[in-house]
Amino acid sequence: MLLIVLDTNVLVSGVMIAGSLPDRLLSHWENKEFNLVTCIKAIAEVDDVLQRPHVAIKYRITQAKRDRLIIPLEKQAIQVSGTKITGVVKDDPKDDMFVSCAVEGNAKYIVTSTNIC
């Protein structure tokens, strides 16, 4: 099965904007059309962004809505350490975790809304 890494912006956008490409990607994952590779640090970052007051209020992100993403990420996604690759993303070093997830999990693609490499 295809292995894919989705970055924080893609995951968060999928929750915030119904019908968007990120939302459709999440639907494909939920339908088991690909396996998602992630790490605990990435899951924590997504949860943190969704809990930010300006995000939660503007996009009506409830605990239940967060749980519909975070719990499957924790239980169904393939989790790797996300720490084996460093120094790749010069403009935003915290994004190294997505490159590391891809390498560690043998993912074919990293889907991001930014240019990290």
Q: Residues 58, 13: contact at Cβ < 8 Å? A: no
pLDDT along the chain (117 residues), means of 10: 96 94 96 98 98 96 95 97 88 91 97 69
Residue 86: predicted pLDDT:
84
The pair of three-digit structure tokens given for residue 63, joined into one six-digit string = 């605990």
Residue 111: predicted pLDDT:
95
Choose the CATH number for 3-111 among 3.40.720.10, 3.40.1160.10, 3.40.50.1010, 3.40.50.150: 3.40.50.1010
Q: Residues 117, 5: contact at Cβ < 8 Å? A: no
Residue 114: predicted pLDDT:
67
Residue 90: predicted pLDDT:
85
Domain residue spans of the chain: 3-111
Residues 6+ apart with CB under 8 A from 12: 22, 46, 49, 50, 55
Residue 49: predicted pLDDT:
97
- Expressed in percent and rounded to 5, the helix, strand and coil fractions of the chain are 55, 15, 30
